[in-house]
Amino acid sequence: MVLRTIANKVGTFEVNGNAVSYLQPLSTFNTQEMDLIQKWYREKVHSLQGYPQVVPAKDINFQSGQVCYAYDVTSYKSFNTLKTMYLEEKMPYYLSLIELAKNKEITLLWNTQNLMVDEETQTVKVLVIDHKAFDIDNDKSDLITLKELIVITLTNLEQVYGRPKRSDFFEQNEEVIQFAEMIYLHLNSLDHMKEYIEAMNREVNERKQSEHEELEKQLANKRRNPLFKYLPFLLPQTKKINRLDIDQTNRIQSQNKTASPHKQKDNNKRFLIGTVAIIIFAILLNFTLTNVNKNALSKEQPLSSTSSKKSMETLYLQGLLGQKEKLMDTLDEKEYDSLSKDQKSLLTQLWVEHGEYKKLLEQDGKAISQITEYLTNQNQLKELDRLQEIVKVENPHIIFAKGVLAKDWDVIINNRNLVELTEERKTYIVKALLQKGEVETAKGFVSDKASEDDGLMDTVLIAEKNVVELKALQEQQALLQKTIDESTDQEKVTEAEQELNVVKKEITNLAQTTGL
């Protein structure tokens, strides 16, 4: 399975097992000659030979109007591996991230897909870097990006949109929370961040060393003290053994050994009888207390609660058995205001499914949003017309729903600010904007109304990338056509015609996938 991620505005990471590719349209490079791109990349990598945090590409080639960097990451793990580690284990990786950010020789693409974890050296390594033919455009400063990356490794977040909640953290102890707050809110330079993390790392190492020395000390005591051979369970205890207690124990044991056989036998009998009596008593006591608790609970529980519970069980059973109309009638017989929250929700769902729109709208005028979304999903255009007759006046939710079913992109766009913005409606709006070629408007809409929906933003970025690629292919098409029209070299003309057919197919395919 290939995973794709947008990066550098118009680039794409493709991850397929241990193979990672980065593709970007040739038109966005500082030269259109592949030989120069490969040459300048090799020169850049050669200049960084003494810098082990850069992973060189194993190949650079041209694919459908794009330059493709191919990497073998067999020896490394994804950046999200850091999420599985404890805070103290992450410190060396954070320090290596800071070293990447402070390196003035490279501009790296700050993207989690571009960062690899090397557990052997406890460092973070980078794949895509800049060179003479290739510029990298990062939206944020290295400091801000680094802060967000550290927060991402500490939480279940994939993007940081402000201060994270405690529930977002994998480790929710005070040490981790304070560390995150210090990094994200208070440290304002890479040097300060490095000093803070180095101090934390030293503290961790000193604590580990102290714990190791304490363990060695305990093991040495065990080897030196013969008492531990007979009482191994005392090893974990830190309490010192009183010599008087040991002497007293030895004296009692000695007395027991010198006791007569008959006396020992009597003691054993008494011990067995006493043990059996205690067990029987414990069983009887447990049985008695259990019955008392059950009786007390049954007396304290109101009869109305029991009957209510049985009533709800009956209702839900009717629903499960497919008797939805009977279930709806049963709930309809009751006063709407007397129904519980769950019962109201259930009745609302049943009214929508059975076309009882008037009943529902009489109780909740805002329910038209829920009704129209349901009818849109069910492709019920006639029911939308019937709903319009019921409400009598024009309603933007109904107009929007009809626009979706008719794929009338203008209607969807014109009503986007007049309807409740559910997740489904946001998707329809973005689709409409992209179909009309309004990529920038779609991008602004997602940023404003769905900033936390990474999937929707990726869709817009893919469409933006497709537009750039389409433009590059169209330029290539024009050059090939010029060669065909003007060249007197028949071999070149034939080659250009063959390539032109391929480019035309790619343009057709790409044009079809510009929208959702």
Domain that holds residue 56: 3-195
Supply the pLDDT for residue 325: 60
Cα–Cα nearest to 219, from 206, 205, 232: 232
348 and 415, same structural domain?
yes
Q: Please answer whether residues 427 and 443 qualify as being in contact, where contact means their C-beta atoms are separated by less than 8 angstroms.
A: no
Helix (H, G, I), strand (E, B) or coil at 510: helix
Rounded distance between C-alpha atoms, residue 294 and residue 286, angstroms:
12
509 and 404, same structural domain?
no
| Beta bridge partners of residue 63, listed in sequence order | 66
Tally of domains in the chain: 3
Supply the pLDDT for residue 239: 41
- What distance lies between CA 306 and its chain's CA centroid? 42
In a domain, 130, yes or no: yes
162 and 27, same structural domain?
yes
478 and 408, same structural domain?
no
For residue 172, what are its two tokens? 């929710």
Tell me whether strands 123-126 and 11-16 are parallel, antiparallel or unpaired.
unpaired
11-25 pLDDT, tens digit per residue, is 899 998 899 999 999
14 and 156, same structural domain?
yes
In this prediction, the residues of the chain whose per-residue pLDDT falls under 50 are 227-265, 292-294, 296-310, 313, 316-322, 515-516
Single-letter amino acid code for the residue at 69: Y
Supply the pLDDT for residue 268: 53
pTM over 0.85: no
Q: Please answer whether residues 70 and 61 qualify as being in contact, where contact means their C-beta atoms are separated by less than 8 angstroms.
A: yes
292-308 pLDDT, tens digit per residue, is 444 544 444 444 444 44
Rounded distance between C-alpha atoms, residue 293 and residue 360, angstroms:
45
Backbone angles phi, psi at 306, to 5 degrees: -65, -45
475 and 402, same structural domain?
no
Rounded distance between C-alpha atoms, residue 466 and residue 515, angstroms:
9
In a domain, 174, yes or no: yes
For the beta carbon of residue 173, count every other beta carbon within 10 angstroms. 10
In a domain, 306, yes or no: no
In a domain, 472, yes or no: yes
